[in-house]
């Protein structure tokens, strides 16, 4: 019986794909925060006396840019550790 592909296996298999796809969101924060880091370094090099203000602004902006990467991570973790789709299926097949 277990040596056949069943519905449960299909859902869990596609959840692995879905979790991987969700992580692609990380491209964005990686690029954006890297740009912010570069501009921050540039600004500090030009006005070293403003370093703390520049760094604070850079980190605040980078924290905002992180959010969509976190969303992707949360969706991946839900798919991996608390998969609601397989629960729905198990309820449906009784």
Site string for a second copy, 58-77 (x = CB under 8 A): xxxxx-xxxxxx-xxx-xx-
Which x/- pattern, by CB under 8 A, does the window 19-58 give for a second copy? xxxxxxxxxxxxxxxxxxxxxxxxxxxxxx-xx-xxx-xx
> Counting beta carbons within 10 angstroms of the beta carbon of residue 33, is it exposed (0 to 12), middle (13 to 18) or buried (19 or more)?
buried
Q: How many residues bind a second copy (CB under 8 A)?
A: 83
Least separation, in Å, of the C-beta of 20 and a second copy? 3
Residues numbered 1 to 20 that lie near a second copy (CB under 8 A) are 1-20
Q: Please check whether residue 7 is in contact with residue 85, taking contact to mean a CB–CB distance below 8 angstroms.
A: no
Distance from first CA to last CA of the chain, Å, rounded? 18
């Amino acid at each position: 019986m277990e040596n056949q592909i069943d519905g449960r296996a299909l859902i869990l298999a596609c959840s692995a794909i879905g979790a991987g796809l969700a992580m692609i969101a990380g491209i964005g924060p990686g690029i954006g925060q890297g740009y912010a880091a570069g501009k921050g370094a540039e600004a500090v090099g030009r006005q070293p006396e403003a370093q703390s203000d520049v760094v604070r602004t850079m980190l605040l902006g980078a924290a905002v840019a992180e959010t969509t990467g976190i969303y992707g991570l949360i969706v991946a973790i839900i798919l991996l550790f608390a998969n609601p789709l397989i629960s729905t299926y198990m309820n449906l097949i009784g």
